[in-house]
Amino acid sequence: MEGFKPFGVPLKNLEPSILLVEEYEAIRLVDYENLIQEEAAERMQISRPTFTRIYDRARKTIAAAFVEGKAILIQGGSYSTDDYWFRCNNCKEVMITLKPINNCRRCHSDNIISLNPD
């Protein structure tokens, strides 16, 4: 997923809010994976106070975009990962794995791309 936008409004007519990759990861770990902040900070290999600042910025960025009707673009930031990130071009599933994969875990397509930075 590279971002979100309000329904029914062309992207070219929207002001974007940038959600950094590390902010996205903080939201994913706490709100999607249900980790506590201490566990999420460990996973991201950062201190708990640093994690809290990143998570707070992410929540504020998302809230402002919702309230103000802005698009959210996920990009940039400062990060490194040992995981492999893939997106299926057929069903759009994003997969994070410990090893490279050849097929989508959801639709089993081999039409996947790597999202890892080079």
Mean pLDDT is lowest, of 7-11, 41-45, 53-57, 77-81, for 77-81
Would you state the pLDDT for residue 10?
Answer: 82
Would you call 60 helix, strand, or coil by DSSP?
Answer: helix
Q: Where are the domains of the chain?
A: 14-74, 84-114
What is the torsion angle, in degrees rounded to the nearest 10, for the CA atoms of residue 76, residue 80, residue 84 and residue 88? 0
Each residue of 68-115: pLDDT tens digit?
A: 999 998 887 665 666 788 889 999 888 888 888 999 989 999 999 988
**pLDDT value for 77:** 65
pLDDT for the residue 117: 65
Query: What pLDDT does residue 79 have?
Result: 59
> Which H or E run includes 64?
helix 48-68
- Could you read off the pLDDT of 19-44 as tens digits, one per residue? 998 999 999 999 999 999 999 999 99
Q: Which candidate, 54, 45, 67, places its Cα nearest to that of 19? A: 54
Q: In the predicted model, what is the mean pLDDT of residues 46-67?
A: 96
Q: Could you confirm whether domain 14-74 is CATH 2.40.160?
A: no
